[in-house]
A = this chain, B = another copy of it.
């Protein structure tokens, strides 16, 4: 049903260590389309994204897909539960990661400061997911897309004169599966925002936010523009 087919599992063998000769290997690179881990894999590592973008997904047997999150630089992915990963994770572009032992999070042995950082990342993750709930459960398609664009712009947007600009490394299908919509609805909603002069679209994957305040109002559900 969903265009983006579950890819055949190509995993760790595809990960290219950046500094192959150091004993305590921690930094690595992953190529677009390659999986960092799959749902059900033993979760021995937790990863901090240094550059690039990751995609965390869950897939039902019949192919329905939910994008749980996109992992941007500064994000931490791969939190274990019962020692396993509970999502698939792959890269949307060449992505560099710093890997940490699961023990660093779970027992705190060794690097206390790192343990703290990973723990805080887990707590932020819980908070971010709560936002996402409201979006999935209670917002209209235009509110969903506006929320998504605002969140991404706040996080990784660029100032462009009077406007904001944000690059979208993911496909419309990814956005749809993140927001609980179809690609068609996402596309129509982009068009609607574009025709309302709230955004402009440059080469499909770059969005210019012409009216950030208006977009934020839409995201919050202020229907009186």
* Shortest Cβ distance from residue A109 to the other chain B in the assembled complex, whole angstroms: 11
| Chain A residues with a Cβ closer than 8 Å to the other chain, count | 43
A191 CA to B114 CA in the complex, in Å?
52
In the complex, identify which listed stretch (A20-28, A55-63, A92-100, A203-211) lies at the interface while the others stay far away: A55-63
Tell whether, in the assembled complex, residue A79 and residue B123 are in contact, meaning their CB atoms are under 8 Å apart. Answer: yes
Tell whether, in the assembled complex, residue B138 and residue A180 are in contact, meaning their CB atoms are under 8 Å apart. Answer: yes
Chain A 105-131 interface mask (CB, 8 Å, partner B; 1/0): 111100000011001101111110110
For the complex of A and B, 5 pairs with smallest distance between CB atoms:
A137-B180, A81-B127, A136-B136, A64-B138, A66-B134
A86 within 8 A of B: yes
Tell whether, in the assembled complex, residue A119 and residue B106 are in contact, meaning their CB atoms are under 8 Å apart. Answer: yes
- List 16 additional A-B contacts (Cβ < 8 Å) besides A64-B138, A136-B136: A60-B220, A61-B220, A61-B222, A62-B221, A66-B137, A68-B130, A80-B123, A81-B127, A86-B130, A108-B115, A119-B122, A126-B126, A126-B129, A129-B129, A133-B136, A136-B137
